[in-house]
Amino acid sequence: MSGGLYRSANAAQGGAAPGRPSDGATFISAEPLNQPAMESTAPPQEQVAEASAAANSAVMAMGSLVSRGTGFLRNLVIAAALGGALVGDAYTTAQILPGMVYEFLLGGVLTSVLIPVLVRRRKSDADGGQAYAQRLLTLAVLALGVAALLAVLFASTLTWLYGSGESTDGYSGLVTALARLMLPMIFFSGLSALISAVLNTRGHFAAPMWAPILNNLVVIATAGLYIAIFGADIIKPDEMTTGRILLIGGGTLLGVAIQAAGLLPALRKVGFRWKLRFDFRELGLRELGRLGAWMFCYVAVSQIGLIVLFNLLNRAGRENAAGPLIYNNVFLLLMTAHGIIAVSIITALMPRMSAAAADGRYADVAADLSRGTRTVTAVLAPIAVCYAVLASPISFTLFRWGAFDEGNATATSVVLLAAALALVPFAVSQLFTFAFYALPDTRTPALINIPVVALRIGVQIVLFAVFSASFAGAGMMIGNAVSYLAAAIASAWLLRPRVGRIGLGEIMRTGARVAVAALGAAVVGLIVVKLLPGDDTPSRLEAVVQLVVGGAVIGGTYLGLAMVLRIGEITEVVGMVRRRLGR
């Protein structure tokens, strides 16, 4: 589901889904970082292949941009229709449930095990892996169908598990009613993912990139219709009539179903014929189980963290504080910055690190890891500063619409301020996790994830117990930040015996210069914003002015200080831009 609701939440607990970039990842070529592209001197046949790859990259990049844009608009319209109180929290919790079941059954295993197996079968089998893919799809459809049916039957149990027990205000009943409509998304989400995997292994990337946009448009239209019929008013859970529930829940399910259906024509286009095959012994299930065991462990541990997270958020939401919907909106902002910048860097480095590891050139792996860490830190730091300093104008500009009132926007700004602390640690921890996958090694990240999630849960519970409910959403983000930092440190420590020194001294020196530049930009930005019209609860016009002026001042100050401090990862980008503009 584009819009990243359950993927965002899963990422909040254990990083982006293991083995793949975050949802809607920006695709760039695997050229050395900070170096301009060179003109091709390849033979004509290779130039054709390069042109095809470039075309695929352009399609994926454009699809990613539109998908992220419509996904973000989707969340804004849902928030405007339902508000940031209990009804919006119930919808968010109900929508998270099918995603969690899907990830538990298939998500991590699909990306880390099934896709590589499909690629190998595509190359080794006489029929190009068609029979194998048919068997896999048949088994997956049956398993997903049974899982969706069981989930619907046990919807009330899932509500109790993630929704913080029973309630007397109609909240649990609303979550369960919405969940019964949305849980069949398990089937359609899994089907979409499997079809996309088959298409990608056959060199078709356009449909998997664009199909989620259909989902977003359907949900946007559903929320718009909801507002047109019922209005954008804040209501209580027991005021959600059957018509309201059917419209918003059924429209969300319809979006995922249309996304899956939109991929079917592309299967015929690549020559794949869907035929039911029940000779599952030929799949090598024992091998698949062995390969996927550690990834299953990774996902299972992350689910425990999600259960705790949503229990605490739902408890806070019942006390009129930031709950699941507000938390998810903020995390979507976090993932947007990570996806556009950090995932682009990881996407560029991953093939290089994998090739170097395969050749035994571990020093090159360490060098790429060091450079990636420095680049991610330097580029994401000013965005983190913007999230912190401009938390109020961002929240009031983006989310203050319809039933999402001033109190919801203020609560969002507090969570966003805390989320700024998590942005860089999250991106760095993800980079180190993907370094393990490049070796390749899924066992170590799974083992690291156990104490990391335990630490996260401990910090979140302590903060929830010590502070008031109004701080709960921010406390969850702080718990995330602490655990991401711990994951990065543990990963670096365990990677060193494998790849050698990763240039910790150089990383620390760059980090110190980045911290100085970021602090300077934050101080200047804060002063400017305080001088502008509007306070902590600005009007929409005041919020827009604060956002535009404050963002420009923060960006300009950081860039200037980075040049003075000679932060190489920034100065090289500036130099490259100057060279290209001077052509």
423 within 8 A of 383, measured Cβ to Cβ: yes
DSSP state of 25: P
Question: Residues of 383-398 as b/e, b for ≥16 C-beta within 10 angstroms?
Answer: bbbbbbbbbbbbbbbb
| Alpha-carbon distance values, 45 to 53, 58, 527 (Å) | 13, 20, 58
Average pLDDT over residues 181-210: 86
Look at residue 285 and tell me whether its pLDDT is greater than 90: no
Nearest C-alpha neighbor of 86 from the set 167, 183, 27 = 167
Structure-block tokens of residue 559:
């860039």
Nearest C-alpha neighbor of 257 from the set 155, 325, 184, 330 = 184
Angle at 489 between CA 488 and CA 492, to 5 degrees: 85
Q: Kindly report the backbone phi and psi dihedral angles of residue 48, in degrees, each rounded to the nearest multiple of 5, phi listed first.
A: -60, -45
Q: Interhelix angle for 443-466 vs 5-14, to 10°?
A: 90
468 pLDDT tier (thresholds 50, 70, 90): confident
Q: Which residue carries 């390969």 as its tokens?
A: 291
577 pLDDT tier (thresholds 50, 70, 90): low
Q: Of 6-15, 49-58, 67-76, 176-185, where does mean pLDDT reach its minimum?
A: 6-15
84 pLDDT tier (thresholds 50, 70, 90): confident
Angle at 66 between CA 57 and CA 344, to 5 degrees: 45
Q: What pLDDT score does 349 carry? A: 79
More confident residue, 441 or 93: 93
Look at residue 41 and tell me whether its pLDDT is greater than 50: no
Percent of the chain with pLDDT over 70: 85
Q: What pLDDT score does 555 carry? A: 94
Structure-block tokens of residue 579:
């060279």
More confident residue, 446 or 115: 446
100 pLDDT tier (thresholds 50, 70, 90): confident
Q: Of 45-54, 220-229, 482-491, where does mean pLDDT reach its minimum?
A: 45-54
20 pLDDT tier (thresholds 50, 70, 90): very low
Cβ neighbors of 100 (< 8 A, separation 6 or more) are 6, 9, 10, 162, 303, 306
Q: What pLDDT score does 378 carry? A: 93
Look at residue 52 and tell me whether its pLDDT is greater than 60: no
What is the residue-averaged pLDDT of the chain?
Answer: 83
Nearest C-alpha neighbor of 134 from the set 265, 287, 277 = 277
More confident residue, 568 or 558: 558
Structure-block tokens of residue 338:
């990570």
Look at residue 237 and tell me whether its pLDDT is greater than 50: yes
Q: Of 37-51, 113-127, 359-373, 424-438, where does mean pLDDT reach its minimum?
A: 37-51
Residue 185 burial (10 A CB sphere; 0-12, 13-18, 19+): buried
510 within 8 A of 377, measured Cβ to Cβ: yes
CA–CA dist 88, 111 (Å, integer): 31
